[in-house]
Amino acid sequence: MNLIIDVGNTSIKIGVFEEGLIVYKETLKSDSFFMVIQKIHQDYPLISNAIISSVATINKKDMLLIKDLFDIMVLDHTLQMPFKNLYATPTTLGVDRLGLVAGAVGQFPKKNVLIIDAGTCITYDFKNKHEEYLGGAIAPGLSLRYASLHNYTSKLPLLELESPKNYIGDTTNQAIHSGIVNGVSYEIEGAIAEYCNTYPDLTVILTGGDAHFLSKRLKNSIFATSNFLLEGLNHILAFNNSQ
């Protein structure tokens, strides 16, 4: 059994895998991390390997706890990947994006795949059918766009995510919802169309916290999944243990 830990910007996701299938999953805040890890150690004594991917800072106490309980692998750019990384600055590439690409290799081998991760940021990552990672793009996510309109103007309110009633906003609130939600949808549709111009057989994955919300608004054929990063990290762990 494998333990997978993804420390993101706003939450921590944990998964336990058995023979490639996820048998436990939880999303939590950092203040409950200590108790959850201890409970997993008690409930799943057959966990033999673990990996942690962190784009945020995890405190030393929690890290020491994990290392004391599990034989853990820390995801960084020195680990072997199941793909060829052609990113020009590999040491600046977020480890979460490595996990997403690994997930695409594991689930869609020998295919051109665009992975769109809609979270705090919206990232676009592309690997071709030769299992080469070429790069992608980074854009602000939905929550960042709401926050930036409020923080960088004097009168616009801070709103919660909501589907706009119409593309023509007839109130300031509706105009904000339309601008942000429709704007992100148009952006994603445009990015997919651009990739499809070069790779007409493109497979598109949509994942991340806002994937379910956005998938209902997109016209393109996509695979929406919430576990894709955890599955990718599990693939990296298995790949390195097999070397």
Is 241 annotated in some ligand binding site? no
Is 96 annotated in some ligand binding site? yes
Strand 49-54, strand 72-74: pairing = parallel
Closest CA to 107 of 47, 34, 22: 22
Is 71 annotated in some ligand binding site? no
Is 11 annotated in some ligand binding site? yes
Is 20 annotated in some ligand binding site? no
Is 145 annotated in some ligand binding site? no
**Residue of 43, 62, 68, 96 marked catalytic:** 96
Is 8 annotated in some ligand binding site? yes
96 catalytic? Reply is yes
List C-alpha distances in Å: 29 to 7, 10, 35: 10, 8, 11
Closest CA to 22 of 224, 233, 240: 233
How many Å apart are CA 126 and CA 223, to the nearest integer?
A: 15
Is 55 annotated in some ligand binding site? no
Is 91 annotated in some ligand binding site? no
Burial pattern 83-110, b for ≥16 Cβ within 10 A else e, equals: bebebeeeeebebbbbbbbbbbbbbbee
Is 95 annotated in some ligand binding site? yes
Q: What is the largest CA-CA distance in the chain?
A: 59
124 contacts 184 by C-beta, under 8 angstroms: no
Is 210 annotated in some ligand binding site? no
Is 10 annotated in some ligand binding site? yes
| Sheet-wide strand order for 2-7 | 21-28, 12-18, 2-7, 49-54, 72-74
8 contacts 120 by C-beta, under 8 angstroms: yes
Point out the annotated binding site. Answer: 6-13, 87, 94-97, 117, 120, 172
Point out the annotated binding site for ATP. Answer: 6-13, 120
Q: What residues are annotated to the active site? A: 96
Point out the annotated binding site for substrate. Answer: 87, 94-97, 172
Point out the annotated binding site for K(+). Answer: 117
